[in-house]
Structure 1
Amino acid sequence: MDSPTDPVVPAKTPPSLFIRLVASALFTGYSPLASGTVASALALLVYLIPGFENPYVMMTAMMAAFIAGTYVGDRMEAYYGPDPAEVTIDEVLGMWFSLFLLPKDPVLFISGFFIFRILDIVKPYPARKFDRMRGGFGIMMDDVVVAFYTNLILHAVAAVRVFAGL
């Protein structure tokens, strides 16, 4: 039987600093408490930058986050195991998608933050199916599904606010 110190068995190489930086959304994934919530808060702060709500800016950022997240998610999972807590770029993408095509209204973005976090914990169908998938694609997609639900809820809230004159 080969032991971990046997020269025939390759050692797991830790992901590069750059991979960890991207995967953990500027190292928020290494937060000792609620790393997903910390990453979602970071994403919300980026969203609050003037002009970020522009659909072209957001689409570009979301596509880049999805592609990068899928790639780095694969690398992080190979080292840390399935759906590692250190990977929080999925929360960043999810938060941005939750707020996509909505007015920059404090009621909406604060509600969106909490709705997204709750749904990300509960993982309604089919998010849970994606959460069970291996690899970066599964890591990213469960948050995309949850963000889609959050976005629909927020659009309904925005419509009610408009019709109610709030």
Structure 2
Amino acid sequence: MGAYEIILILALLLILFGVSRWSRFGKGFKRGMEEFINATGEVTKEMQDAMGSEDPSKKDRRDGPSNGAVANFVLWVAQGFGSGRIPWAPGTFGSLVGLVWFAALLAGGSYWLYLIGCAVGIVASVQLCGAAEKILDETDPPSVVLDEIIAIPICFLGWVSFIYFKTGFLPEPQYFFSRQTWLITVAVYVLFRLFDIAKPWPVKQSQSLPGGWGVTIDDVLAAVYVNLVVLAAHALYIAQHHRG
């Protein structure tokens, strides 16, 4: 992706979200990173203590902080590595982090690894988002955005699959941000946010599923809707192309 495309995308994001909102994004991400550093520091300390004396008093001290450190780490991941702490539209910013996860799966260079990554993402989201609900004592907390992150690669699954079965190769990450395709990538992202917010049937109904399933499956179904729209648009394009 050239400098022109990067500048254009950054300008579009700046227009969409505004300077003040990006400032809040930075503050929220910084706060999340600080909590992550604190949590990992506690985990490291507890591991060091575990390797030392087995004095009962030390063991008692390990039990409490260790649980807190694990809970902080779970929250940090479930809250999109800090992006979910942004006070305005955390799901939207969490979905931006999902583009990074999408690019990482493409960088693996294997279609089957991409599919496995999507499946593992769903399982991880169910587990971690469910745990975050218990920690926060809240159903589907707005700050928990891991479900949005793991849904982004699923949004592109139809497009990726079409290219793979047509060419035999998994497209590279930069393909989706090239001058020819970046607008479609933005459209996929926007479509996901629209379906995730509007929650057409059965997206909304899936939220009644227990625990992390209710948090995760609605985003997966929203991603399915995105694929249907993208494939329908592609079919219309092909039909018009042949007609012309």
TM more than 0.5:
yes
- Which range moved further: 26-35 or 156-165? 156-165
One-letter amino acid of the counterpart of residue 16, structure 1: A
Q: 1:18 aligns with which of 58, 73, 93?
A: 73
Please state how far the C-alpha of 1:54 moved relative to its aligned partner.
4.8
Q: Distance in 2 between matches of 1:55 and 1:89?
A: 22
Structure 2: tracts of 5 or more residues without a match: 1-66, 161-175
Instruction: Tell me, in whole angstroms, the C-alpha distance in 1 between the residues paired with 2:238 and 2:182.
Output: 14
Aligned length: 153
Query: 1:71·1:136 contact (CA, 8 Å) conserved in 2?
Result: yes
Query: What corresponds to 2:83 in structure 1?
Result: 28
Instruction: Give, in angstroms, the shift of residue 155 of structure 1.
Output: 1.5
The alignment's C-alpha RMSD in Å is: 2.2
Aligned partners of 2:80 and 2:144 also within 8 Å: yes
What is the CA-CA distance between 1:98 and the residue it aligns to?
A: 0.8
1:106 equivalenced with 2:182 (yes/no): yes
Q: Could you tell me how far apart the structure 1 residues matched to 2:216 and 2:76 are?
A: 16
Structure 1 residue ranges, 4+ long, deviating more than 6 angstroms after superposition: none
Matched, 1:151 2:227: yes
Relative contact order higher in (CA < 8 Å, ≥ 6 apart): 1
Q: Distance in 2 between matches of 1:68 and 1:159?
A: 34
Shift in alpha-carbon separation, 1:163–1:48, aligned structure 2, 3 A = farther
Q: Report the Cα offset of residue 25 of structure 1.
A: 2.0
In the TM superposition, what is the alpha-carbon distance from 1:162 to its structure 2 partner?
Answer: 4.0
* Alpha carbons of structure 1 residues 107 and 53: separation in structure 2 relative to 1, 3 Å: farther
> Bigger radius of gyration, 1 or 2?
2
Q: Does 1:95 align with 2:152?
A: yes
Question: What CA distance in whole angstroms lies between the structure 2 residues aligned with 1:28 and 1:146?
Answer: 20
Residue pair 2:101, 2:150 contacting (<8 A) in 1 also: no
Cα pair distance change 1:44/1:159, threshold 3 Å: farther
Is 2:107 the partner of 1:51?
yes
- Could you report, residue by residue, the CA deviation over 1:74-112 in whole angstroms, capped at 9, with x for unpaired residues? 111112210011211110122111111315332332111
Equivalents in 1 of 2:195, 2:216: separation in Å? 15
Q: Which residue of 2 aligns with 1:62?
A: 118
Name the structure 2 match of 1:72. 128
* TM-score under structure 1 length normalisation: 0.81
TM-fit CA distance, 1:17: 2.4
